[in-house]
Amino acid sequence: MRIQVLGCYGAEMPGYKTSGFLINDDTLLDAGTVVSVLNVEEQLKINNIIISHTHLDHIKDIQFLADNVIGKRNGHINLIGTHGVLDILRANVLNNIIWPDFTTIPSVNGPILKLLPVKGKEELCLGDVTVKPIRVNHIVDATGYIIKDNDGAIVYTGDTSHTDWIWDAALKEDNLKAIFIEASFPNSMADLAAISGHLTVQGMAEELKKAGDKKVPVYVFHMKPQYLDIIEKEIALLDNKRIKVLKQGDVIEI
């Protein structure tokens, strides 16, 4: 499994792009950043978009991707998420008000985007990769994912505050190879993190304890860039060499 970091921050400003990870060239894990990094030829290879939740920093490039590739590719792109997540997306974005409903364009029978619901804790096969959504604790309907292929599995928390479900699922994976976990705020902003359904660095460290003896690499994302220096210093103070703060352009081979 090859994971390319298109964007990995919890806000957007010059030099910092929001969450978007490209798996094996054809599957997006969240779509906050896509079209500003990938050229059209690369965009045309995308067949699946896995959505953790519908906050703008995780979905905004779905619309621009559809606009860029329509008429240039055969077949649709799957929008994958739980029923709750996809219902929110249809009602509030793909509604011909905020943005054209690309689930009916260019035709109802041949749209460029197709909703593909996946039930919680049930695996969905996408070629060589399977995905399993696990509910997490955010301020909207949100899921993390267990994503795996023949080489191993990763845990992706998506946006979350303290939770147990994703770690219960991770503990059952015999071939877990990596954890992708958010840390949005420095420790001094614990109140704001709690209100917004996110983790501080200390909160992230507490969550990682729930992974038990899974001593695998940990990749941190969704840092608020305005606090990045403090977040990185606090992560360094954890003195855990398994933890790496992601940067745009990183490529992880599982």
User: Does 176 reside within a domain?
Assistant: yes
Number of domains in the chain: 1
Tokens linked to 31: 């779509």
Residue 201: predicted pLDDT: 98
User: Does 251 reside within a domain?
Assistant: no
Phi-psi region of 253 (alpha: psi -120 to 50; beta: other; left: phi over 0): beta
Tokens linked to 135: 């509910």
Residue 132: predicted pLDDT: 97
Reported as a single tens digit per residue, the pLDDT across 66-106 is 999 999 998 999 999 999 999 999 999 999 999 999 999 99
- The band of 34, judged by pLDDT with boundaries at 50, 70 and 90, is very high
- The band of 210, judged by pLDDT with boundaries at 50, 70 and 90, is very high
- The band of 65, judged by pLDDT with boundaries at 50, 70 and 90, is very high
The pLDDT of 244-251, averaged and rounded, is 98
pTM of the model: 0.97
Q: Are 126 and 22 in contact (CB under 8 A)?
A: no
User: Does 199 reside within a domain?
Assistant: yes
Q: How many CA atoms lie within 13 A of 16 on its CB side?
A: 15
Reported as a single tens digit per residue, the pLDDT across 151-205 is 999 999 999 999 999 999 999 999 999 999 999 999 999 999 999 999 999 999 9
User: Residue 198 and residue 161: Cα distance in Å, rounded?
Assistant: 4
The pLDDT of 34-41, averaged and rounded, is 98
User: Does 9 reside within a domain?
Assistant: yes
In which domain, by residue range, is 200 found?
A: 2-246
Tell me, rounded to whole angstroms, the distance of Cα 1 from its chain centroid. 15
User: Does 147 reside within a domain?
Assistant: yes
- For the chain, the average pLDDT equals 97
User: Does 136 reside within a domain?
Assistant: yes
User: Does 252 reside within a domain?
Assistant: no
Residue 35: predicted pLDDT: 98
User: Does 253 reside within a domain?
Assistant: no
User: Residue 5 and residue 184: Cα distance in Å, rounded?
Assistant: 17
What CATH number is given to the structural domain containing 108? 3.60.15.10
C-alpha dist (Å) from residue 29 to 17, 80, 130, 241: 14, 10, 12, 25
Residue 40: predicted pLDDT: 97
